[in-house]
Chain A
Amino acid sequence: MAKSIDVSDLDIYYGDFLAVQGVNMTIKARSVTAFIGPSGCGKSTVLRSLNRMHEVIPGARVEGKVVVDGQSLYGAGVDPVAVRRQIGMVFQRPNPFPTMSIYDNVLAGNKLNAKRMKKSEADSIVERSLKGANLWNEVKDRLNKPGMSLSGGQQQRLCIARAIAVEPQVLLMDEPCSALDPISTAAIEDLIHELKSDYTIVIVTHNMQQAARVSDDTGFFNLKATGEPGHLVEFNPTSKMFTQPDEESTEAYISGRFG
């Protein structure tokens, strides 16, 4: 189920503006890969180009190759909708559908596939996904309550449940804990550890301790200079990255001497 991702010579544009230039990396299957770097350096942009969410913004486009398990995402005739069904995403702010119950939120992605589901089948998907997101025990007695009735941390786990309900190959997380308190953050980080055995996970984070805690590999992004596009400075195993990085600027950023 989990797949590896090969990114080669990726240039990402907003209209005529080159936001990210020349990204090359290999994201391993069944591992957690963290993207770190200062604001505006293109981490989230790269992440969103991995499931073709980048092009949702008018004028945005991508050059280069993203290959998931031998299949090019940007090849001719590839349907972005199909890509997004294979590669799930969790956003910075929890965004359950406000008009849907917890139950319906989990099934939202499955219902898009438009096939009729038996009630028992739907029930088991909901239970499996909520258990997978460590939310089942907290909500099993109120599945018909609106998704918005949950706390922020629970909402974010509901969004993770919604993303894994369709059994994607890859799970992308765009600063999933930045709107959450430390306890909810810890719950999500534990969850990431567990999900790693089934999914390839890519996480963008501003929190370097978080990157060190949850990830196997880390990519450090930075701007070449003010006004220049962002680029991938270094991509290495997390343990190496946080002890003896190859690049001086990586060390400067990680140790807080950013400049």
Chain B
Amino acid sequence: MSTTTKREPQTEAVAGPVQRRGDVVFAGLAKGAGVLIMVALAGVGLFLLIEGAPAITASGDQAYGNDNIVLFVWPLLFGTLLASVIALLLAVPLALGVALVISHYAPRRIAKSLGYVIDLLAAIPSVVYGLWGAFVLAPAILPSYQWLAGHLGWLPFFEGPATTGRTILTASIVLAIMILPIVTAISREVFAQTPRMHEEAALALGATRWEMVRMTVFPYSRSGVISGIMLGLGRALGETMAVAMVLSVGIGVVTVNLISPQNPSTIAANIALNFGNASGTKINVLVFSGLVLFVISFAVNFFGRWIAARGQVKG
């Protein structure tokens, strides 16, 4: 009896590490936050699956006049991807250029104010972008579309007829401006974090500024830039209001013609436009298209991470 009472406190002192209340509370909060995110994500996925499932068998009127759900979703998916890819093609080179100017080329004062202006673009609501796109950009850009249709009409992208500015190309331009701030901000941060000693190593070898950027800044920030692009792409894929307001939609169109009045809509814009009047299975059909968007966004993100990770292993 006496030996056990003696031994117990000893083993406790060895086995049990000291528990501090602050640590316990903080660890609990952090874990809770992590779990909450997972639960929220799973909840969204589950909702989309359950509500979207009845749409699998939808056809005819319920599937907005299509024979089956695939014929309904495919043009929307195509439009979503097309608009996002064009937006990325337009925004990424511009964003990287601006980020580089801010981090490495411009004098500090100018760089700072330029950074603020770019960040401000992110604060503009997407409805405003939509209004601007539909009523300012679209009429203003129509003459260029007419020129494109006239001179480059032999390319499938510019077949025309160019009768309206509210095309998928206009929508993509608006999207590009919307994702510019996030891609720029992230690129600028990672560019600026390039270790000084690597930059000096390149300069001391006789690298010009641009060669220094290519030798040290780009390799160092590659994965960070890809993360930024993925975030921008995520925003472009899911953007609803701006696209819905700008785009002149043709039903079920799948075309690479960027400047015709018959444009493929995007998933998010289509949901926004039709949800108010939908009932019964039509709601399930729209939710199903949302599920497709969810999956595509996931896939694109994982793909981006994979590219980023591959780049790092090489380094």
Q: List chain A positions with a Cβ less than 8 A from chain B.
A: 51, 53, 56, 58, 81-86, 88-89, 91, 93, 95-99, 108-109, 112, 146, 159, 162-163, 166
Contact = CB atoms under 8 A, between A and B. Distances in A.
Given A53-B200, A91-B197, A146-B315, A97 B207 contact: no
Contacts of B314: 99
Contact of A93 (B197, B203, B208): B197
Contacts of A58: 107-108
Given A53-B200, A93-B197, A146-B315, A99 B206 contact: no
Given A81-B208, A82-B206, A146-B315, A97 B200 contact: no
B200 A91 contact: yes
Contact of A95 (B200, B206, B207, B315): B200
B198 interface: yes
A110 B240 CA distance: 51
Given A58-B108, A99-B220, A112-B211, A51 B315 contact: no
B209 to A, nearest CB: 9
Contacts, number: 64
Q: Which of A56, A82, A86, A93 has the most CB of B within 10 A?
A: A56
Contacts of A108: 202, 205, 215
A109 B206 contact: yes
Interface residues of B, number: 21
A85 B197 contact: no
A97 B206 contact: no
B204 interface: yes
Contacts of B206: 81-86, 109, 112, 166
B315 A84 contact: no
Contact of B201 (A99, A146, A159): A159
B219 A84 contact: no
B198 A85 contact: no
Contact of B216 (A91, A97, A146): A97
Contacts of B197: 91, 93, 95
A163 B206 CA distance: 10
A155 B269 CA distance: 55
A86 B237 CA distance: 51
Contact of B315 (A88, A91, A99): A99
27 contacts: A53-B203, A53-B204, A58-B108, A81-B207, A84-B203, A84-B206, A86-B206, A89-B204, A91-B200, A91-B204, A93-B197, A95-B195, A95-B197, A97-B202, A97-B215, A97-B216, A97-B219, A98-B198, A99-B220, A99-B314, A99-B315, A108-B215, A112-B205, A112-B206, A146-B315, A159-B201, A166-B206
